[in-house]
A and B are shown apart, each in its own frame.
Chain A
Amino acid sequence: GAVVSQHPSWVICKSGTSVKIECRSLDFQATTMFWYRQFPKQSLMLMATSNEGSKATYEQGVEKDKFLINHASLTLSTLTVTSAHPEDSSFYICSARDVGVQPQHFGDGTRLSIL
């Protein structure tokens, strides 16, 4: 159980393009979803936390207008990287958890490459 599906797994696009990444909880209701960014050979950096039906809470230094997060249902959150540039190239990973203090379950990540 506790499967999180992330799509797409790999995106290559031109500079200036907006890219949407989906994160779905397949067998549980994800009241809270998290978006992380991971640079090569580094640990995960939390970008934002979103609760279903409310606005996301962004970590310091993360541009909310650049990284749009929507958590419209208990099983789906989306991250849109708007007008992506090469410096946005990274590995983006989502996680989700059910109600209460539960472990976070992670998706397989999306590798974003901006040319």
Chain B
Amino acid sequence: GEDVEQSLFLSVREGDSSVINCTYTDSSSTYLYWYKQEPGAGLQLLTYIFSNMDMKQDQRLTVLLNKKDKHLSLRIADTQTGDSAIYFCADQTGANNLFFGTGTRLTVIP
């Protein structure tokens, strides 16, 4: 089955950029997503990219997709303390099949 991997932890200083990486194995992905989860809460959709795109920018968020290497990244510019959370990447391979990574816990140091 599909395997989606992320590093578990990332710490950055407030104001710096954060880059969260994700790799996946299925080459038939249609969409790739980034979700944010704050403590005790559900998942908030941050952004998503269609598999035929290389980059998508939305305010402080930039998503890069390298389809050849099956690598997805999320860059958060000017990281704030409110950005501290767990970030999940997810890979959609069909209409319904959504595979989640293990999540990266981002800690922003004031």
Question: Residues of A with Cβ closer than 8 Å to B?
Answer: 2, 4, 6, 32, 34, 42-44, 46, 49, 93, 95, 100-101, 103-109, 111
Are A93 and B40 in contact, with the CB atoms below 8 A? no
User: How far is it, in angstroms, between the C-alpha of A54 and the C-alpha of B66 when the chains are bound?
Assistant: 38
If A32-B96, A109-B42 touch, does A43 touch B31 (CB 8 Å cutoff)?
no
If A43-B88, A43-B102, A111-B40 touch, does A103 touch B96 (CB 8 Å cutoff)?
no
**Smallest CB gap from B96: residue in A:** A49
Are B42 and A103 in contact, with the CB atoms below 8 A? no
Specify which chain B residues have a CB less than 8 angstroms from the CB of A42 in the assembled complex. 102
The residue from B31, B101, B102 contacting A103, defined by CB atoms under 8 A apart: B31
The residue from B31, B44, B92, B95 contacting A106, defined by CB atoms under 8 A apart: B44
> In whole Å, how far is A87's beta carbon from the nearest beta carbon of chain B?
21
Specify which chain B residues have a CB less than 8 angstroms from the CB of A100 in the assembled complex. 95
Are A107 and B40 in contact, with the CB atoms below 8 A? no
Are B45 and A106 in contact, with the CB atoms below 8 A? yes
B64 contacts the other chain (CB 8 A):
no
Specify which chain A residues have a CB less than 8 angstroms from the CB of B95 in the assembled complex. 32, 100-101
B10 contacts the other chain (CB 8 A):
no
Are B41 and A109 in contact, with the CB atoms below 8 A? yes
User: How far is it, in angstroms, between the C-alpha of A46 and the C-alpha of B96 when the chains are bound?
Assistant: 11
Q: Which of A32, A42, A106 has the most CB of B within 10 A?
A: A106
The 8 A-B pairs with the shortest beta carbon distances in the complex, nearest first, are A106-B43, A108-B42, A109-B42, A106-B42, A43-B100, A44-B100, A43-B102, A107-B42
